[in-house]
Structures are given as structure tokens and as C-alpha cells.
Amino acid sequence: MKDELLTVLTVAEARERLAAHLPSELRRGEKLPLLQCLGRRLAAPVIAGENVPGFDRSTVDGYAVRAQDTFGASEGLPAFFTVTDEIPVGFAPDRELMPGEAMQIATGAMLPPGADAAVMVEHTEEAGQGAIEVLKPVGPGENVLRADEDIKAGDEVFPANHLLRSQDIGYLAALGELELEVVVPLSVGIVSTGDELVDPLKKPLPGQVRDINSYALFARTVELGGQPVIYGVVRDDPQLLREKLQRAYEECDLVVVSGGSSVGTRDHTADIIASLGQPGIVFHGMAIRPGKPTLGGVVEKKPVFGLPGHPAAALLSFELLVSPLLRFGSYQSIIHGAPPIKGIISRSIGSAPGREEYIFVKLQPRDGAIAAEPILGKSGLLTPLVEADGIMRIPLESEGVAAGSEVDVYLFGTDYVL
Amino acid sequence: MKDELLTVLTVAEARERLAAHLPSELRRGEKLPLLQCLGRRLAAPVIAGENVPGFDRSTVDGYAVRAQDTFGASEGLPAFFTVTDEIPVGFAPDRELMPGEAMQIATGAMLPPGADAAVMVEHTEEAGQGAIEVLKPVGPGENVLRADEDIKAGDEVFPANHLLRSQDIGYLAALGELELEVVVPLSVGIVSTGDELVDPLKKPLPGQVRDINSYALFARTVELGGQPVIYGVVRDDPQLLREKLQRAYEECDLVVVSGGSSVGTRDHTADIIASLGQPGIVFHGMAIRPGKPTLGGVVEKKPVFGLPGHPAAALLSFELLVSPLLRFGSYQSIIHGAPPIKGIISRSIGSAPGREEYIFVKLQPRDGAIAAEPILGKSGLLTPLVEADGIMRIPLESEGVAAGSEVDVYLFGTDYVL
């Protein structure tokens, strides 16, 4: 008991301790067609192979001209131009624009060589057959998108590990990047242990409850871009648990076992993780609530975690320890992602200095601000998890927050990292 | 031109106009195994079929007792109990607890009939073979999760259309809801038109650009839970465009065609949509920027939209008109989802009253608040779309926002509805 308390680590210390035994990148890359890359992360930076739009492009319907030919033009003293061609969109002009000449041009069409600006049709007047008058001068580059104004060949457009969103898919299509090197999802072996647990497919007998964590962690792994593998419920029997963990360890990139890490009567998880290989358990608890009885282990460079049995605690530990690995491949390269929402906490909450406290909150607009209502309740309840819109943290050294003060709420559904 | 200006509608009017011709629900349901339901929406409410945890459960390691037998107990005058049994987790106690008796109980184990509370082991002392003393009284229900305290059989746990998150999957597993009736994704036919556009797989010739919208709308449709079908690029030729739209219309639940709706030289989209069936085009433009040249159509109860060609404008129109249908099946049942983030706008932006203005913004922590930097630039640029963290709206009747004022930013990645 005393030894365990001594090795309770802060989240930062726990990550550091694990990182010391893990490779700097757990993940590898694979090539995929662009349309399959939504929600995936880049395994390498993308460098633009060409300019976009790729040619000087008119942003208006009007006339391509040499800007200097329009200087001084006004309604009283318009500049005269001979119209020598019409440039539709999608085609390259086949002649050069000479001084005093204009070419009719559509929005999105390519400027001819010699032209450096476009005049809006509204600022021109017809001046007989094949001629116009320009009533207002344009500067060089005006109403034109330069060939490399949107994207410049050679520029890094996305760094490695960028999470690809829908707008990014369009952007990469514009560059002709139709195959990308993306990160292969880490496979996560999920084991549940506890004599009271039954597979959710079965009807529990009196005293039994369905295994929730396997399903919740499966789904959270998918949300985070991982590849979950459910190994099912194992009785709290050292031999059976060892066999199951060994198999999950061999087949997956990382393993989580929930339920066996409570300081309770039948806790064999730590011994089994230790027996799988070196260095084994690297910490026996974290200074967080909920989630204190979390075991951190590394076996031959593969992370193996013992998560608490209570679903809220298991999900929180998973968020703090597994989520960074799924998203960044290591604890050193965490980028904190989506900023939290500012909420006004509706009641005071005390916290013991020396541990981080995580509170599920419900958000509601109130008086032009967002009220954050903590959802408290007995430990082990599931309902707070699904009623909440997000999660807030009371920092390590804080004694709590006073009602009415502003707190940071990490919104479920965003790409936040706690 | 004049007719078109007259039919420019606000977003609310456009949705109302469309709704008048659409069924109140465009989507249908299908049954799926729970583990495949992450990110899907419920087609029907879920009613709890049983209580959770399903039996009175101890939340501590200690002794199950009748609370009244502990009343008045103190360190000086402990209450004496005969220990008649030990209840491990996962098993139903096989005898009733009688007055003056206690049973040893583990966290999560089932209370025996007759017991109504649990005493923490820390508040007891051994009193010889098979007996304990209780040093502190407990009230009825103390340290116990009642059989229906977490979820009560018969309660609605999720309403129809609820978007299933990872924690919900665990919650439903707890209830044994291993098959759910979820919404079938609407199929979205995606057509691009424009003489300058080429399939992104091809190398553009001078004057040509790659079709971005097909890829961006494909990906956004997936993000929103829809089923995209790309019909490719069609030349700005009425006959070809009609054939393509007809096919997309017949094969999909709704159709978007981008690029042909600009008030330009070769705009046939409106005529073709009108020719597909009744009522055809219901509006010719929206009071938004970007995105004004958006066509709204309904053909025999199926929505058909003409989106602007510029990617930012196309994506915004899609967000305003298609996203609600994919998520809610109609415009009447929109729930506004994720609340926006409060940002401090870093520069003043003017807006014309009478239209909604949408600005892409980049967010950065600054002086304890979040600075929202508008990403402005020439129309048609792609880069603002990918540099932005979210989008802000200047309302219909506003003349703009002053630098330093607070604005609402809808964060990309959240389940917001504009």
C-alpha cells in the first residue's frame, strides 16, 4: 500500500515515465487514395508540387489589359482599347496582348501573355465594333489571382500528423495529391476483467452487470483514429487473465485492461503486466480523480495499461494516456488541439491540491455566457457521462473553483487533448 | 437580373421555402449492431428495457447491514454484528440478512435481501471470530447504488436523432441494447460543372484547374454522416449537364451541382433543375456572402441545389442547406448542436445590412482570451479554408463588428449547425 502511494504520479510525470521506455514514434505510414483519407493523419508533410491556380486568372468578368494603359483613365477621359480576342474559361489564350489592346475575359479565365490586370465590365463602355473605353484605371495585378497566389510550388502545405478534414481533401485535390502517406491506425487490444462482468450480449444474472468498458473503449478508439480489438471479459483468475493479456499483447500495438487495477481483493493485473516483459509496470497510480488506480506499463516498447473499472475513470485514464499515442505516436509530440470553451461554473467545487480533478459538465447558454453545470453523483454512475457536453479540469495545485468563475471546458466531439 | 435579385432570400426564408415542398423526414431507419453505430443517429428513441445496475450494489469494500442497526454507534459505543456471510462481486447472496447481522461485501457486489446500507471497512473493527463492531452509523441507502439509480427501466435514455458518441455506446451496452434502429445516411449526388474544370486525376492544361468541390463535398458529406456519390465534372453544355443531373437525381436522395449557378455567361443549371420536375427552382439566391448565387430546388420532394463554383462559397451553401437535411432530415427539426466559442475579433469588419456575412477565422490564445483573426483574401482562394479553425457569422442586420469585440466562432470539428 505504502509503495503504491509513493509511486502515484502526476499526469505529466506518468507520460514522462512511459516516454522513457517507448520509441519516439509508435506508428508507421501507408499510402491511400485521397478520398479514403478523411479523418486520417498525415505520415509525412505534404509539399506542393505545383502552383495553384497555376496561371494568372481573372477574378471578374471584363477585359484583360496592361494596367499601365489604363493609368489616368476616367469617365471624362476614358482610355481607348482595341478588343483583339475573347478568352473563355478553360482555354489558354493563343496570342499575346499588345499595348493598347484588350481581350474580353470571363471570371476564372486565363490572362493572356502581356496582360497584368483585368477591368470589370462595369467600368467599360463599348466604343464601336471591336473597341471599348475604360472609365477607371486598374493597378498591376488588380482583379487577378496570380499563378502562385493561392499555393506556391515547393511550400509545405500540411505538416506531418495533420488531421485531414473535408476542406483539406479539397485542397489536396487542387494540388493533384491523389495519394497520400497517412498514419496506420494503432491497434488497441481491449480486455475487461471482473467476476461481476458479463458480455453485453448475455443477460446478467443477479449480482452481475454487463461489461461496458469494452464497448465504450472500442468506440472511443475508433473516434481517435485507432483500430480496436475486443478480447472480451475474463474472470479475475490470474492464469486466464495472463493468457488473454499475452494474446492481446502479441496481436496489438498497445493493450488496455480495465477493471483489475483497483486496490482490491483480487488484483493480479500488475503482476501479470510485470511478468510479460521489461520494464513492466512503470507506475502504480496517477494523481487524478477519477482514475487514481491506473497502472502504466511498457513491455518491450509496447504500452500496456491497467485502467480502473469504473467507466468514467477508465475513459478518463484512456483519454490521458492512450489518446496522445493514437493521435501523435508519442507523448513528446502532443499538440493540444481544439481550444476549450469558456464556461461559467454554476457551483463551487472543492479539490485536494496535489491531484487533478476532472468534472463532467453540461453546458447551457445563460445571460449571454455559457453556464457549465457540473454533473456530480455517486462514483460508478454512467449517466453523468452521457448527460455531459464536455469535461473540465481543476489543476494539480488548485483547491477548487468558486461558483461563478470562468472555467475551461473541453467539448466532446472536438479534437482536444487533455 | 432584376427578377433574380427579387428572389434573393435570407437563410431562414430559403429553408422555409424548401421545407414547404419537402417531406417532414427525408430519412429512413435500419437496424445495426451496436458496435457499428458510433457516429450514427438514432432513428427512434431508446427506452431502457431494464434497470441499471439492476440490483442494489455496494460502492465500498465493507459490510452490508440494516442501517437502523447502526444508529447511535460510535467509537466509544460501537454496534456489534455477527458476520454471517461473505459476498464477492458477481454473485447473488444466497440468504437474507437478519437484524444484528452483517455480511462482508466487496465494491460492486450485490446487497443481500434485508440489507439497505454498507459500512466502509475503515469504520469497523474485528470483534473476534465471525463478528465485527461498527464505529459510525450509516443512513439507509448509504454507500449503495440502488437497483434503478443509474438508469430506470421505462425511461427514455436517448431521443430520436441523437448522435451516438463513444460514451453512448458504452451506456447502451449497459442496457443490453445491442442492436439499434439508426438513420440510413442520405445519399448525396455530387456534380461539378465548368469548362475550366478537370478531374483531379488529370493534369490540367493551361487555363484549366482541377475540380476541388467534388472532393471537398464528398468529404464533408462523410463528416456529416451522409453517403456521397461523385458524378464527376461535366462541361458547361446543357444537354450533357441535363443527362448527368437526371442520373444523379434518379440515383440519390439529394443532388448538389456546383459551379453552374454563378450569374455568368453559360448558366443553364436553373433551367435544367426546373425541367426535371415540380416545383423545380424555389429560389435564385441567398442573402449571404460568400454564396449568394445559390439555387434552391425541389423536384418531386427531392432537394436539388445549385451551389456556387468557388469552393468557400460552395462549402458554406452546403453547410447552410444540405447539412441540416443530412443531420435532421428536415429544416424544421434543426437542433443547433455545439455552442460556438467566444473569440475576440482582431480587426474591424464591415458588412452590408440585409445579408449574412461569413468569415473564416484563425483562433489563437492571447491575454487569457481567444483572439479570432479573420482570414481575408481574394475571392476564390483556397488557403483561407484550410488555415481557418472555424467560421463566424455577421448577422443579417448588422453593419459589421468592431475590432476587440466578442464574436461567436463555430469550431470546425464540432457538431455545430449554422
Asked if B199 and B210 touch (Cβ cutoff 8 Å), the reply is yes
- Residue corresponding to grid cell 502504466: A296
Q: Which of B380, B85, B107 is nearest to A150 (CA)?
A: B380
CA distance linking residue B85 with residue A81, whole number of Å: 105
Q: A337 vs chain B: nearest CA distance in angstroms?
A: 10
The overall longest dimension of chain B from CA atoms, in Å, is: 99
Q: Which set of grid coordinates corresponds to residue A114?
A: 502581356
pLDDT exceeds 60 at position A98? yes
A193-197, A237-241, A375-379, B39-43: segment of lowest average pLDDT: A375-379
Q: Does residue A266 surpass a pLDDT of 70?
A: no
Residues B127-153 pLDDT 10s: 999 999 999 999 999 999 999 999 999
More confident residue, B255 or A106: B255
Q: Is the pLDDT of residue B123 over 60?
A: yes
**Rounded-to-5 percentages of helix, strand, coil across chain A:** 20, 35, 45
- The residues, any chain, with a CB within 8 Å of residue A89's CB and separated by 6 or more, are A106, A107, A108, A109, B194, B195, B196, B207
Q: From the CA of B310, how many Å to the nearest CA of chain A? A: 10
Residue A140 has pLDDT above 50, yes or no: yes
According to the model, what pLDDT value does residue B6 have? 52
Measured in angstroms, the CA of B55 and the nearest CA of chain A are apart by 7
Q: 505504502: which residue's cell?
A: A2
Would you state the pLDDT for residue A342?
86
Residues of chain A with Cβ-Cβ distance to B104 below 8 Å are none
CA–CA gap between residue B11 and residue B320 (Å, rounded): 7
Beta carbons within 10 angstroms of residue A27's beta carbon = 22
Instruction: List, for residues A174-205, the tens digit of each pLDDT value.
Output: 999 999 999 999 999 999 998 899 999 999 99
Which of B87, B148, B179, B215 best probes binding to A when mutated, by most A CB atoms within 10 angstroms?
B215
pLDDT of A366 above 90 = no
Collapsing DSSP to helix, strand or coil, A281 comes out as strand
| Nearest chain B residue (CA) to A370 | B339
The pLDDT, as a whole number, for residue A236 is: 84
Question: Which carries the bigger pLDDT value, residue B259 or residue B22?
Answer: B22
Q: Which cell numbers hold the place of B67?
A: 442501517
**Residue B266: what pLDDT?**
44
Q: What is the pLDDT of residue A378?
A: 81
Distance CA B137, CA B74 (A): 7
b/e per residue A227-252 (b: at least 16 CB within 10 A): ebbbbebbebeeeebbebbbebbeeb
Share of chain A above pLDDT 70, in %: 96
Please indicate if any CB of chain B lies within 8 Å of the CB of A115.
Answer: no
Helices B311-321/A166-174 angle, 10° precision = 150
Is the ipTM above a cut-off of 0.90? yes
- Is the bond into B290 cis (omega within 30 degrees of 0)? yes
pLDDT given for residue B28 in this prediction: 97
Is the pLDDT at A115 greater than 50? The verdict is: yes
From B325, B270, B261, B256, select the one nearest B294 (Cα to Cα): B261
Q: Render the burial of A64-99: b for 16+ CB within 10 Å, e for the rest.
A: bbbbebbeebeeeebbebebbeebbbbbebeeebee
For residue A167, list chain B residues with Cβ-Cβ distance below 8 A: 216, 219-220, 311, 315, 385-386, 412
Interface contact flag, B170 A219, Cβ < 8 Å: yes
Check if A52 contacts B (Cβ < 8 Å). yes
Contacts of B380 in chain A (CB under 8 A): 53, 57, 59, 108, 145, 150
What's the mean pLDDT in B40-50?
97
CA distance B413 to chain A (A): 6
* Interface contact flag, A174 B209, Cβ < 8 Å: yes
- Does residue A2 carry a pLDDT above 50? no
Q: What's the whole-number mean pLDDT along residues B82-88?
A: 96
Angle at A62 between CA A60 and CA A63, to 5 degrees: 120
Peptide bond preceding A204: is omega within 30 degrees of 0, i.e. cis?
Answer: no
Shortest distance, CA A298 to any CA of chain B (angstroms): 26
Interchain CB contact of A316 with B (< 8 Å): no
Q: Which residues 116-155 of A have a C-beta within 8 angstroms of B? A: 145, 149-151
> Between chains, do A209 and B107 touch, taking CB under 8 Å as contact?
no
Average confidence (pLDDT) over A231-250: 94
> Do B210 and A150 make contact, defined as CB atoms within 8 angstroms?
no
Residue A337 is predicted with a pLDDT of 75
pLDDT tens for each residue of B196-212 = 999 999 999 999 999 99
Q: List Cβ neighbours of B199 (8 Å cut-off, separation of 6 or more).
A: B210, B211, B232, B233
Write a three-state SS string for chain B.
Answer: CHHHHHCEECHHHHHHHHHCCCCCCCCCEEEEEHHHCCCCEECCCEECCCCECCCCEECCCEEEECHHHHCCCCCCCCEEEEEEEEECCCCCCCCCCCCCEEEEECCCCECCCCCCEEEEHHHEEECCCCEEEECCCCCCCCCEECCCCCECCCCEEECCCCECCHHHHHHHHHCCCCEEEEECCCEEEEEEECCCEECCCCCCCCCCEECCHHHHHHHHHHHCCCEEEEEEEECCCHHHHHHHHHHHHHHCCEEEEECCCCCCCCCCHHHHHHHHCCEEEEECEECEECCCCCEEEEECCEEEEEECCCHHHHHHHHHHHCHHHHHHCCCCCCCCECCCEEEEECCCEECCCCCEEEEEEEEEEECCEEEEEECCCCCCCCHHHHHCCEEEEECCCCCEECCCCEEEEEECCCCECC
CB contacts of B414 in chain A (<8 Å) are 338, 411, 413-414
What is residue A364's three-state secondary structure? strand
- Say what the pLDDT of residue A336 is: 77
Give contacts of B93 with chain A, Cβ < 8 Å: 207
Check residue B171 and give its pLDDT: 96
Average pLDDT of the residues of chain B? 93
pLDDT (0 to 100) of residue A4: 46
Q: What pLDDT, on a 0 to 100 scale, did the predictor assign at position A335?
A: 86
- DSSP state, residue A70: G
Q: What is the mean pLDDT of residues A360-380?
A: 87
Structural domains in chain B, sorted by start: 2-28+184-328 (3.40.980.10), 29-50+151-183 (3.90.105.10), 57-145 (2.170.190.11), 341-411 (2.40.340.10)
The pLDDT of residue B260: 60
Band (pLDDT 50/70/90 cuts) for residue A260 is low
Looking at the complex, does the CB of residue B238 fall below 8 Å from at least one CB of chain A? Answer: no
**Interface with B, mutate which of A36, A59, A210, A256 (most B CBs under 10 A):** A210
Q: Give chain A's mean pLDDT.
A: 93
Neighbours of A159 (CB within 10 A): 11
A339 and B370 within 8 Å at the Cβ level: the answer is: yes
CA atoms within 13 A on the CB side of B143: 25
Q: What is the mean pLDDT of residues A119-131?
A: 96
Whole-angstrom CA distances from B27 to A370, B18, B22 are 33, 16, 12
Model-level pTM greater than 0.95? no
Q: Which pLDDT band holds residue B267 (cuts at 50, 70, 90)?
A: low
A369 confidence band (pLDDT: 50, 70, 90): confident
Contact B92 A207 (CB under 8 A): yes
Residue A97 has pLDDT above 90, yes or no: yes
Q: What is the pLDDT of residues B306-364, one digit of tens each?
A: 999 999 999 999 999 999 999 999 999 888 777 788 899 999 999 989 999 999 999 98
Which pLDDT score, from 0 to 100, does residue B4 have? 46
User: Taking CB atoms and an 8 Å limit, are A411 and B414 in contact across chains?
Assistant: yes
Determine the pLDDT at residue A339.
76
Residue A327 clears pLDDT 80, i.e. is over it: yes
Residues of B in contact with A338 (CB under 8 A): 411, 413-414
